[in-house]
Amino acid sequence: MILHSFKFKHSLVAGAFFALFSASLVSCGGGGGTAGGSDSTAAAGNDDAIIGAGSSFDYPLFSKQFSEYNKANGLKVNYQSVGSGAGISQLTAKTVDFGASDAPMNGKQDSALSAPAIHIPVTAGAVVLSYNLPDVKDTLLLSPDVLAGIFLGTITKWNDPKIASINKGVKLPATAILIAHRSDGSGTSNIFTTYLSKVSADWMSKVGKGSSVNWPVGLGGKGNEGVAGLVKQTPGCIGYIELAYAIQNNMAYAKMQNKSGNFITPSIASVTAAANIQIPADTKVSLTNTDAADGYPISGFSWVLIYKEQKYGDRSLDRSTKLLKLISWMIHDGQQFSSALNYAPLSPAAVSAGDAVLKSATYDGKPILQ
């Protein structure tokens, strides 16, 4: 009976939250419309509009950035929050100008491209464990082994001794734990499962890491919006979402124990601490299970993905130039909107690496940005 109720709420709530966030993006001028058509030249139409698709992790930040850029430059950006996997698929099909992903493209995805793509880091954020326990007023503490046990389905009650042992003095209910996870290909899932694979040998051997995995337990929601909706509407539920979604919806979220043994509140400061690392030339790096004593352990970068050679199909130099100028603004002036939306502004090292990658983009073999 509980399972049927959960499924019913899943379908209603996930749809409602997706509609809510889509409406918010359209209303602020960022666009939430269709990210291109079905043919390979769909992204080569109106040069006064740029089309993107992908990460729902980035959606609240992109909404603000694209609205502000439109006010200043008159360029409309239509962005679909469809998940990182779908964003990569649409970039591969060349139906969008850019994809956005919270996981760098893997070898299989790279090999499906007709030409090389480049990764430009645009933000860093926290994947938080949000839970719905109305009678628990204390902030829950979670350790790596407890978190893995919950999502493996071996810890099934909120008052399990393993949870109680790290939450001394907290009156935990004897209710069942319900799991909400992503149903779509998701960079947020990649960050989360990469973390679990680093801290739990059981998780690594039984489930592994990736944008899509075979979840041992739970039901899926589409996008961060869908998982947030499931958690918010279902008592006893826990799910992983980007920090901005939890804060915007007044949802409780746990402190996570990091490698140093400290229980860390996800915040701009703790994500910044985790992101204070050397950035490789291709910018592909994981922030999970940070060595930083004050770093939040389930943090991650998100990237905008574009083709390195921008002359393809019917694309014009003007369109390609507008795209690169937009992305350059996002990693420079656009970072001023990060903190208010609970994203960590890019470090100088990340901005420098992003600039270098962006300047490698060409049109007919010639650099677009100088």
pLDDT of residue 36: 31
Domains and CATH numbers, the chain: 8-124+301-367 (3.40.190.10), 126-274 (3.40.190.10)
Residue-wise pLDDT tens digits, 145-198: 999 999 999 999 999 999 999 999 999 999 999 999 999 999 999 999 999 999
On whether the CB atoms of residues 120 and 234 are closer than 8 A, the answer is no
pLDDT of residue 46: 77
d(CA 271, CA 343): 8
Q: Which two tokens stand for residue 55?
A: 């990460």
pLDDT of residue 39: 36
pLDDT of residue 4: 37
DSSP secondary structure string for all residues of 279-323: PPTT-----SS-S-TT--SSEEEEEEEEESB---TT--HHHHHHH
Residue-wise pLDDT tens digits, 48-92: 899 999 999 999 999 999 999 999 999 999 999 999 999 999 999
Q: Which two tokens stand for residue 320?
A: 């390609």
Give the bridge partners for 131, in sequence order.
238, 252
Specify the pairing of strand 49-54 against strand 98-101. Answer: parallel
d(CA 319, CA 332): 20
Q: In the chain, which residues have pLDDT < 50?
A: 1-41
CA dihedral 171, 173, 177, 182 (to 10 degrees): -60
